[in-house]
Amino acid sequence: MRSGSRIGVAGRVNLVGMRAGLVGRWLLLAMLGVTQPACGATDDKDWKTMRESMLEEIQDDYRRSAGWTGLPSASAEVLAALRAVPRHAFVPEEVRDSAYRNHPLPIGRGQTISQPFIVALMTDLLEADSDARVLELGTGSGYQAAVLGELVASVYTVEIVAVLAEQARERLATLGYDNVHVRSGDGVLGVA
């Protein structure tokens, strides 16, 4: 994302490609008959308003933590990715109304979806280029993988809890993230 990348990749995310991906996901959801959120908010406008509020909170966290992280604000690319990924689709229905609050939420099996600020910060610190391939250990609900999927060529993610891996795989496929590849296994030991 930024020049002088510590991982040796340079360049910018193709925002046109990201927009095309969003249109494709919207068309897929429309064809599947998904026309409004499953609970809480009654239309996309409510989700968008909540998402924008979350992004403002994230920017506040960046400002407060700039002395430690060296990042006074989220990059435009990361903000665009967070804006594009429907976080409410990655949390259980019983906590969906809280999907855009800037804190972790339970996703089942004793696991949580990370706080949006942490997802943004980890993504920014990665400084990955649009042609990068990223390995993620701990898929969880698939939210971080989806955010990365908006920014890089390929994401390979490993989840030790088999049921979470399968749910994430199905969710990511439904949302059109064909560049995110989910495996079930222990990422510390490697997977074949």
Q: Which of 10, 20, 128, 142 is nearest to 78 (CA)?
A: 128
| Residue 114 is among the residues annotated as catalytic for this protein | yes
Asked if residue 3 is part of any domain, the answer here is: no
Strand partners of residue 158: 137, 183
Asked if residue 191 is part of any domain, the answer here is: no
The alpha carbon of 27 is separated from its chain's Cα centroid by a whole number of angstroms, namely 20
Q: Is 88 helix (H, G, I), strand (E, B) or coil?
A: helix
What does the pLDDT look like over 71-99, one tens digit per residue? 999 999 999 999 999 999 999 999 999 99
Average pLDDT, the chain: 82
Asked if residue 24 is part of any domain, the answer here is: yes
What does the pLDDT look like over 98-155, one tens digit per residue? 999 999 999 999 999 999 999 999 999 999 999 999 999 999 999 999 999 999 999 9
Q: Give the chain's domain count.
A: 1
Residues 6+ apart with CB under 8 A from 90: 99, 107, 113, 141, 142, 143, 146, 171
pLDDT category at 188 given cuts 50, 70, 90 is: confident
Asked if residue 69 is part of any domain, the answer here is: yes
* Annotated catalytic residue within 3, 5, 114, 141: 114
CATH assignment of the domain containing 71: 3.40.50.150
Asked if residue 51 is part of any domain, the answer here is: yes
Q: Are 6 and 127 in contact (CB under 8 A)?
A: yes
pTM above 0.85, yes or no: no
Asked if residue 32 is part of any domain, the answer here is: yes
Asked if residue 8 is part of any domain, the answer here is: no
Asked if residue 63 is part of any domain, the answer here is: yes
What domain range includes position 28?
15-184
The residue behind tokens 């609050």 is: 101
Where helices occur in the chain by DSSP H, the ranges are 15-31, 44-69, 76-84, 116-126, 143-149, 162-174
